[in-house]
Chain A
C-alpha cells in the first residue's frame, strides 16, 4: 500500500464550479499536513496547511480526518488559474520530512 494515495484525476471542472478530492495516508503518527499545488514542470508551492479543525483560505477549504486518515481539499468558484496538480503532503516526523502523494490533476475549463 502506498503511504499517501491520491486519485490522479484528471478532474475536469467548468469555470465557477466546485471540486473536491481526498487523499489517504498510512502513517498514523503524522502530525502536520499540507496541500501543495504544482504547475507543469515547476516546483511545488504551498497552498495551505491543514489543521485538525479544518480550515479555509479564500476559495479553498481543507479538512483533516485523523480517525480515517484522510485529508480533503475543496475548491469553490474554480478559476482557470486553479488548473494544476494538487499534492497531498503529510509530514512524517518532527523534523518535517514530507511524504508526497503522486498528486491529483485538476483542469478548469472555460
Chain B
C-alpha cells in the first residue's frame, strides 16, 4: 500500500510567481487536506476537500486555492508568491473524520 505522495519535494520560486503542488492520497481515502508549516511552528490548516468539494478553509488569503480531482488527488495553487509563503506544505489524506496520514511534504522557498 503506497502512502500519501506529494510532488515536487523541493521547489524554489521567485516573488510574484505562481506555484502548483500536487498530492495523491492513500488508496481508498477520499478526504485530502493541505497544511502549511513554517519553521518553529506546528502545521496550519489551509484547505480540506472531500468528494471534490471544499469542506473547510483556513485563514489564508485568496492567493491560495485548491481543487480535488475525480481520482481524489489534489492540487494546491499559490499565486503572487511572497517571501512569507516559504514553508513546508503538507498534504494529508484520511477517511472522513478519521486519523490523517501525511505525505513527505513540498518544501517551497520563495526568493
Contact = CB atoms under 8 A, between A and B. Distances in A.
Interface of A: 4, 32, 34, 41-46, 49, 87, 91-103
Given A44-B90, A100-B44, A94 B97 contact: yes
A44 B98 contact: no
B31 interface: yes
Given A43-B105, A96-B31, A87 B42 contact: yes
A33 to B, nearest CB: 10
Interface residues of B, number: 28
A44 B43 contact: yes
Contacts of A45: 102
B33 A34 contact: no
9 contacts: A43-B102, A95-B50, A96-B31, A96-B97, A96-B98, A98-B43, A98-B100, A100-B43, A101-B42
